[in-house]
Amino acid sequence: MNLYNTLGTLNTFFIIISLLGIYAQLKTIMERKKHQSTRDNTTELLSLNQFTVSFLAYFSFFVYGYSIEPFNHYIVWPRLIATILVLQILIEMYKDRRSVISSTCLFIAGLLLILGLLGLFFHGQFSVHGKQVSTILIVVISLLLAQGYIHQIQLIVTSGKTGAIDIRMSQFILLMDISTIAFAMSMGIEQGWPLMFLAIISGITKLIIMYLFRWVRLSTTAQQRRLAVQTNLP
């Protein structure tokens, strides 16, 4: 087995691990539904911005994987599963918030997934254009991903708590990002740089969020901000 297949297999393994992280986040939301104290706020502090961009990130690589030659099974199938799981989180955020923006994000995500699946079946007819479009999409989404995670980080810092955020999701996705960087290098810079670009941005933000879980536990500033939020409650 050559380096490409070895790293591709390793990356697929870590993507599966990251899927467990996304599932853990979804499970946390479902568990909050069962408790009276959190039933009316099941997605507390979850950034709709961040999860929408995460959906777009997985989706863009799903499209990229079937647009390049040869068809990259290591990229396509795990990202498709991740896209569906994140879509489920967006559904739960819509159910919890019932806002115009949450319904709009859910509608756009659902429509893109349908179009992406159609593209999967007919990818041979527009693979060159699909690669160009998905590459541009990846670059744009990488920047949006950074912005989305910055928003999530700001929510934690401002409130002094992590709410419904599950740390396992960040831990598992960080492992995926590291393996994705290695896999992208084995593909060569020409084809692998979009993967590498997004994975580096994602990895940096995951490290910051993981640090903030420690900050929330130990920082007196975080404690003061939690108390301030509670004091301002009606």
Q: Give the integer Cα–Cα distance in Å for 207 and 203.
A: 6
Residue range(s) defining the domain that contains residue 193:
3-231
Q: Cα separations (Å) of 119 from 48, 61, 86, 88, 115?
A: 26, 13, 20, 21, 6
**Tens digits of residue pLDDT in 35-87:** 888 888 899 888 898 899 889 888 988 988 888 777 888 889 999 999 999 99
Q: pTM to 2 decimals?
A: 0.76
Count of structural domains, the chain: 1
Mean pLDDT of the chain: 87
Q: How many residues are present in the chain?
A: 234
Cβ atoms 74, 8 nearer than 8 A: yes
Cβ atoms 156, 162 nearer than 8 A: yes
Low-confidence ranges of the chain (pLDDT < 50): none
What is the crossing angle of helices 189-218 and 220-231, to 10°? 70
